Amino acid sequence: MGARLSLNNHKATNSEQSEVLQSEPCKRQKTSSTFWDENPRIIPTLPDEISIQILARLPRISHFNAKLVSRSWKAALTSGELYKLRKELGTTEEWLYILTKLDGEKLMWYALDPTSRIWQKLPLMPNVASEDGTRRAARLWNMVGSSSIADAIRGWLGRKGALDQIPFCGCAIGAVDGCLYVIGGFSKASATECVYRYDPILNSWSEVTPMSIGRAYCKTGILDNKLYVVGGVTRGRGGLTPLQSAEVFDPFSGIWSEIPKMPFSKAQVLPTAFLADLLKPIATGMTSYRGKLYVPQSLYCWPFFVDVGGEVYDPEINSWVEMPAGMGEGWPAKQAGTKLSVIVDGDLYALDPSSNSDSARIKVYDHQDDAWKTIEGEVPIRDLTDSESPYLLAGFLGRLHVITKDVNNNITVMQADRQNRLDSTPSTSAATLGESLQELSETVLGSSDNIWKVVATRSAGSAELVNCQILDI
């Protein structure tokens, strides 16, 4: 699972650990190669059927060292059969994967084992950019310099030169069937259809079937163990143009299939042709909720964004319907053009930045009342107005988590104290959710304690948060 990092993440410490880990297997192979060659079984004194049962119960954090024991152990620990057995035994573990961006151009992935609180660095993603692509990117920016879409993307990036510096600039991220997927983005000044997959079992990246069209800044969601992609922008004759199309990837067959495009019905009823041409529709988020895909939408002409609710894709009827009014109108925005949410135990949560520069509020959607309800208690978040992603949301171990950076530039993973403060049991009725919120409110108001606790940190320096995903392996 990549290079192992200490909690303090000092460079010297990392280097020393790397040297130790690389030298250890050499010593072991010299002293034990003959023994293991003569005993091809996983554990020489046991049948492999029992040995694999033992290995399936090992914590994932110990797999790195366990692979050094022998070739048979490494083969077993990198086989799909062992991880199928882990699912059957109920020994899978949820890890948090965080994508960061350093100095506006270098993308790095880190994995956190929440049990041991040990971080691991993933291998670098393949570099699909080139110096020639950088020059073409600069020409593209000059060509579409007056485009409101180009300006919007510059605004999302926070810097005008980002496209021609960052491989995977504007890529989307998804996680399905135990793997991470990096989808589209800009490469050589064009929106690419390329898709890359990270397999945590093999600890490596590989290219998989591309999308039907190049996309950047598209939105992703998981439904029925399939990866859905909607919207984004692509390069057209007149520059960068928004997309209404959508498609779905089946990780088992490796095939992309088109689904009906988003109607953007609110954009079709603008009063004048001038406004219809001026205001461009975009998808600002996507989440899988109650068996459907919910996509909040906006109309924009940079730097102005107008929320127009959203649309819902129902896979059973293979069509889009309008999002409930209360859901679309009240969905909190992380920043202009971006709406973030997370599902925890079947409930939909979002973070609403407050007017206070160092705090925010959590909201939960009540589908019975079609309303977002604020949970009492503030989330301590720094004012990161210059950051592309000042915070991320994640749901794992049955709890809500907020990932942000603290005053010391450390990545901080905060967990809601569900047992005492936050009841995120799936809502079966409006009364149930209302009672939960009332109990939570009374608990928080009756205590001066913070409902959030820090469960992990690591030094990040100037690196910015980009995305986070959960893999249950």
Residues 48 and 134 in one domain: no
Residue 352's DSSP bridge partners are 361
Q: What is the pLDDT of residues 364-423, one digit of tens each?
A: 999 999 999 998 778 888 765 666 678 899 999 999 999 999 889 899 999 998 543 444
Residues 35 and 158 in one domain: no
Residue 246 lies inside a defined structural domain of this protein: yes
Residues 39 and 134 in one domain: no
Residue 66 lies inside a defined structural domain of this protein: yes
What SS3 state is found at 358? coil
- The pLDDT value recorded for residue 241 is 84
Which range in 147-151, 154-158, 366-370 is most confidently predicted, on average pLDDT?
Answer: 366-370
Residues 189 and 239 in one domain: yes
Residues 156 and 294 in one domain: yes
Residue 9 lies inside a defined structural domain of this protein: yes
Q: Number of folded domains in the chain?
A: 2
- The pLDDT value recorded for residue 58 is 96
With a cut of 80, say whether residue 182 has pLDDT above it. yes
Q: Which of 275, 307, 339 marks a domain boundary?
A: 339
Q: Identify the domain containing residue 327 by its residue range.
A: 123-339
Q: Identify whether the C-beta of residue 411 lies closer than 8 Å to the C-beta of residue 121.
A: no
DSSP class of residue 345? T
Residues 231 and 320 in one domain: yes
Residues 284 and 205 in one domain: yes
Residue bearing the bigger pLDDT, 329 or 11:
329
Mean pLDDT over residues 287-306, rounded?
86
Give CA–CA dist 310/262, Å, rounded.
Answer: 10
Give CA–CA dist 228/220, Å, rounded.
Answer: 5
Rounded percentage of the chain residues whose pLDDT exceeds 70: 70
Residues 239 and 286 in one domain: yes
Residue 453 lies inside a defined structural domain of this protein: no
Q: What is the pLDDT of residues 341-355, one digit of tens each?
A: 999 999 999 988 765
CA atoms within 13 A on the CB side of 433: 23
Residue 349 lies inside a defined structural domain of this protein: no
Residues 320 and 263 in one domain: yes
- In the numeric block, the tokens 């922008």 are attached to 233
- The pLDDT value recorded for residue 138 is 35
Residue 228 lies inside a defined structural domain of this protein: yes
Q: Which of 273, 305, 339 marks a domain boundary?
A: 339
Residues 183 and 278 in one domain: yes
The phi-psi region of residue 232 (left if phi > 0; otherwise alpha if psi is between -120 and 50; otherwise beta) is left
Q: Identify whether the C-beta of residue 293 lies closer than 8 Å to the C-beta of residue 245.
A: no
Residues 62 and 179 in one domain: no
Tokens of 303: 């730097």
Q: What is the pLDDT of residues 205-263, one digit of tens each?
A: 999 999 999 999 999 999 999 999 999 988 777 677 889 999 999 999 999 999 999 99
Q: What is the pLDDT of residues 101-141, one digit of tens each?
A: 987 678 999 999 999 999 999 999 887 444 344 444 333 33
Residues 129 and 66 in one domain: no
Q: What is the pLDDT of residues 37-66, one digit of tens each?
A: 555 789 999 999 999 999 999 999 999 999
- The pLDDT value recorded for residue 357 is 63
- The pLDDT value recorded for residue 19 is 33
